[in-house]
Amino acid sequence: MYENLAIELNEQNLQQVIEQSMQTPVVISFWAPSVPETAEVNALLEKITAQYQGQLVLATLDCEQQQAVAAQFGVRGLPTVALFKNGQPADGSAGPQTEESLRTMLSKHLPSQEEMQLKQALALVDNQDYAQALPVLRQLATCFPKNSIVALAIAECLVETAQFDEAEPLLATVPMQDQDSKFKGLMAKLELHKQASDSPEIRSLEEKLATNSANAEVSFDLAVQYSQVNRQEEALELLITILRKDLNFADGNAKKTMMDILAALGQGNPVAGKYRRQLYSLLY
């Protein structure tokens, strides 16, 4: 499964591989066909390297075939593992190895799984793949509390997928020193949305509803208007209030409109989750 991940070290490519550690850490496994446990260490390192997804380079040195190169490293016993960073030895261990012991050594010098996931998620945001990035970033938010990079990435996903109600309070948590051009751009988009979502039609319906809050027809019309300008939470609140009184209001159009909004928001959306539970409690 992890075949061909390792670079086979020799005199010709040794310097090149060590120089490669200036950009990406290189772990070297010193092994020999006559020492079976060294092949097991190679297999473990191939598995670990694959999981680091380009953040770690694996090189193996056959100490029987490349005795002169092994001598340069001063290897005295097998298995031996050495980690190089910035062209210099950074860590290593000799003797029997387990997957846990190898991971423990490498984790001190490499990004965590969460840091790698964050890097991938931020790349998705850069590529405007907001729908795929958002659920990953939500999960990572607990691992990186009060991290403005994460908060701004989530806010960007929310703004670009028209989830403005959730984006605004999140942006309010970004401290002054982190309010960069990205932050200002997102705030500008929020302001444009607010201006566009406060039409004369909406204001008129809001005034009618203020004078008669029990008017289900006005509530429904306003909910439809809200949904068309991406004020989805306000639309859902009006619709669930209507449905609590009459589940089949307007020949089922209120229920259908609510389900359409929930479907558009998607499964991972917390607002959708809140109102989906309320709707299901009425239906079932």
Select the more confidently predicted residue: 67 or 268.
67
Task: Give dist(CA 39, CA 188) in Å, integer.
Answer: 58
pLDDT in tens, 165-218: 899 999 999 999 999 999 999 999 998 888 878 888 999 999 999 999 999 999
Q: Is CATH 3.40.30.10 the classification given to domain 7-107?
A: yes
How much of the chain is helix, strand and coil, in % rounded to 5?
60, 10, 30
Q: Please say whether the beta carbons of 138 and 121 come within 8 A.
A: no
Evaluate the omega torsion of the peptide bond into residue 79 and state whether it is cis, within 30 degrees of 0: yes
Bridge partners, 52 (sequence order)? none
pLDDT in tens, 120-143: 999 999 999 999 999 999 999 999
- Identical fold between 113-196 and 200-283: yes
CA 87 to chain centre: 31
CA atoms within 13 A on the CB side of 187: 11
pLDDT in tens, 203-242: 999 999 999 999 999 999 999 999 888 889 999 999 999 9
How much is the average pLDDT of 240-265? Answer: 92
pLDDT at residue 3 above 60? no
- Mean pLDDT, the chain, integer: 93
For 113-196, CATH number?
1.25.40.10
| CATH architecture for the domain at 200-283 | Alpha Horseshoe (1.25)
Domain limits, the chain: 7-107, 113-196, 200-283
Q: How confident is the model at residue 4 (pLDDT cuts 50, 70, 90)?
A: low
Task: Give dist(CA 266, CA 274) in Å, integer.
Answer: 12
Helical (H) or strand (E) element with 90? strand 88-94
